[in-house]
Amino acid sequence: MMERYYQPEIECAPYEKIREIQSEKLVNQVRHVWENVPHYRKKMEEKGVTPDDIKSVDDLHKLPFLSKADLRETYPDGLLAVPRDEVVRIHSTSGTTGKRVIAYYTQHDIDLWDDCCARAITAAGGTKEDVCQVSYGFGLFTGGAGLNGGSHKVGCMTVPISSGNTDRQIMFIKDLQATILCCTPSYAAYLGERMQELGYGPDDIPLKAGIFGAEAWSEEMRHSIEKTMGIKAFDIYGLTELSGPGVAFECSEQKGMHVNEDHFIVEIIDPETEEVLPEGSQGELVFTAVDKEAFPMIRYRTRDICRVSREKCSCGRTLIRMDKPMGRSDDMLIIRGVNVFPSEIETVLLNNGYAANYQIVVDRVNNTDTLDVQVEMTPEMFNDNLGEVENRQKKLSDDLKSMLGIKAKVSLVAPKTIARSEGKAVRVIDKRKI
Amino acid sequence: MSVQQISVFLENRPGTLKKMTGVLAANKIDLRATSVAETKDFGIARLIVDDAMAAVNTLKENDFVASLTPVLAIEIPDEAGGLDKLLEIFADAEVNIEYMYAFPGGKLIDKALMIFRVADTKAAEARLTSKGLKSLTQEDISQI
């Protein structure tokens, strides 16, 4: 198959040209945040750097980092860089008021994001002849909106079905002859399984490609999905803070994801020393969104650990490639594509009168992530009435669902059965074999 | 007079019940009656013992969540229709029973003891007494 590009003038541009674009945009972006976002200005002043010090990408390292803590501190709109009436949409990550991130978009920001997703769809072989079924969730979550916008740009017939209702998903794939499926890899695997149960082999399924992201998945999982559905499965990477899916995308080579460098400058740093590491080193991914207007991110620490490489890709793209992130450098969990912080679970437990001693067990059953929150029974929460204890258990489970956005099972365990730790508590047991 | 029942939280795992009885045995607590109520996730053991305070303290010292619950202990003749007659009185007195369980009368030959958990123990007791029914005291239980 001949490789297709959505914006070949960027995707296949010589690195020098990309650097030129990046430098020009960076200089403007730094001035933009300096003038419009007091938080950035304060951080830059603290570091003794002004927009005049930033003349090209080479000066990027002079700028202060931005972390999740900055986002929390400035919630809900302390990092908004344009007047509110310029904003056309927001998206949000899951989380408590304290941890939630509200990302703002101008029409320009939506357009560039849609372009990024269009590049991903085109790299997966998508054209205007395709039928693209977007089975990511729609709403505050960026998955549905991002791929939906990208699919429109490519000109695919877009099926904005959102997630869930598996049999209906399969019916639409069959009846509308969908050729591209966009969803989380775990949901793709589940869909594949259900298709098998219904007796559909790879030849009965019209799909030819899948674009799967928002959670970690392995090569084994890729092969299994590809075999079951008879498709080629492509990875896609993104963060709500940076816009959503499409920050980086996989090409037909399936060897790492090309970063959309004209919009996002990538750096790899040592998470401890914050020192910038040379290409090829493993470290924390740091992104600078150089042309987002409403919600610019300068040197945003993603907490994702990975490696990048500028090695030539046989697909023809010159955009730098990043590996699948190997893990998070803090304790955030991605469960069914949703960001879950153990501290959010802690808040719910405390609000419900339970002790903060708990354990979170994450597993993958039938290709779907499961979350089990084990809490110790306390004298305060105990009652001789079975129904009463069950009601409290149910309330806790409901509160967790509304806080996290995903279903959590609550297991009540005997006091002192959850291991205590001298140092940092082991709160999370992740049994998922990815 | 009501008696104190000990309610113990039991995690749904093999060996939990044994751990509880082990603790009670080591502290020479004599069980008069036991009952276990369970959901699919956890259970509650209900115990009538010779020394309720000692038992509850011992259990707490050994990391069990245990509480005292007032229940009515009533003696009935160990014969066909014994419970039926008793429950007739409960019905007449309009006492709603949350749960009940039975145990043999021990030294009281030919007797059985019924344990009742009701919503309002004191009110129920008053109504049952007015129907001529007498419930056992903590002392009675210790003596059995």
User: A108 near A293, Cβ under 8 Å?
Assistant: yes
Question: Concatenated DSSP letters for A377-403?
Answer: --TTT--S-HHHHHHHHHHHHHHHHHH
Copy the structure tokens of residue A292.
């987002």
| Neighbouring residues of A368: CB distance < 8 A, sequence distance ≥ 6 | A186, A187, A190, A336
The pLDDT of residue A422 is 44
Rounded distance between C-alpha atoms, residue A277 and residue A268, angstroms: 6
The pLDDT of residue A423 is 40
Our separate counts of H helices and E strands in chain B read 5, 6
Write the pLDDT tens digit of every residue in A243-293. 999 999 999 999 999 999 999 999 999 988 999 999 999 889 999 999 999
Rounded distance between C-alpha atoms, residue A276 and residue A286, angstroms: 9
Render each residue's pLDDT in chain B as its tens digit; 144 residues: 689 999 999 998 889 899 999 999 999 999 988 999 988 889 999 999 999 999 999 999 898 999 999 999 998 888 889 899 999 999 988 899 999 998 876 666 678 889 999 988 888 988 888 888 888 888 888 877
The pLDDT of residue A424 is 42
User: A189 near A367, Cβ under 8 Å?
Assistant: yes
Helical packing angle, A342-351 and A386-404, nearest 10°:
140
| Neighbouring residues of A187: CB distance < 8 A, sequence distance ≥ 6 | A135, A163, A337, A368
Alpha-carbon dihedral angle through residues A400, A402, A405, A406, given to the nearest 10 degrees: 50
Give which of B18, B41, B57, B97 to mutate to test A binding, by max A Cβ within 10 Å. B41
The pLDDT of residue A185 is 83
Residues of chain A with pLDDT under 70: 1, 94-99, 216, 326-332, 343, 355-357, 420-426, 433-434
Whether A411 and B98 lie within 8 Å, measured CB to CB:
no
Question: How many inter-chain contacts (A to B, CB under 8 Å) are there?
Answer: 51
The pLDDT of residue A403 is 83
Closest CA to B100 of B84, B88, B118: B118
Cross-chain CB nearest to B11 (options A379, A386, A414): A414
* DSSP state at residue A214: S
The pLDDT of residue A355 is 65
The pLDDT of residue A96 is 42
| Neighbouring residues of A52: CB distance < 8 A, sequence distance ≥ 6 | none
Q: Strand A308-309 to strand A257-259: parallel, antiparallel, or no bridges (unpaired)?
A: unpaired
Dihedral (CA of A277, A278, A281, A286) sign: positive
B interface residues, A as partner, C-beta within 8 Å: 5, 7, 9-11, 13, 16, 37-39, 41-42, 44, 46, 60, 63-65, 67, 69, 98, 117
Taking the alpha carbons at both ends of chain B, their separation in whole angstroms is: 16
Whether B9 and A384 lie within 8 Å, measured CB to CB:
no
Helix (H) or strand (E) holding A82: none
Residue located via tokens 């050729």:
A179
The pLDDT of residue B93 is 87
Q: What type of residue is A368? A: T
Chain A residue closest to B69 (CA)? A384
Copy the structure tokens of residue A185.
């890899």
Q: Is the peptide bond before A206 cis (omega within 30 degrees of 0)?
A: no
The pLDDT of residue B134 is 82
Whether A393 and B41 lie within 8 Å, measured CB to CB:
yes
What are chain B's domains? 3-69 (3.30.2130.10), 71-142 (3.30.70.260)
Residue located via tokens 């980086």:
A248
User: A360 near A116, Cβ under 8 Å?
Assistant: no
Closest CA to B20 of B60, B54, B53: B60
A404: left (phi over 0), alpha (psi -120 to 50) or beta: alpha
Residue located via tokens 């030959």:
B109
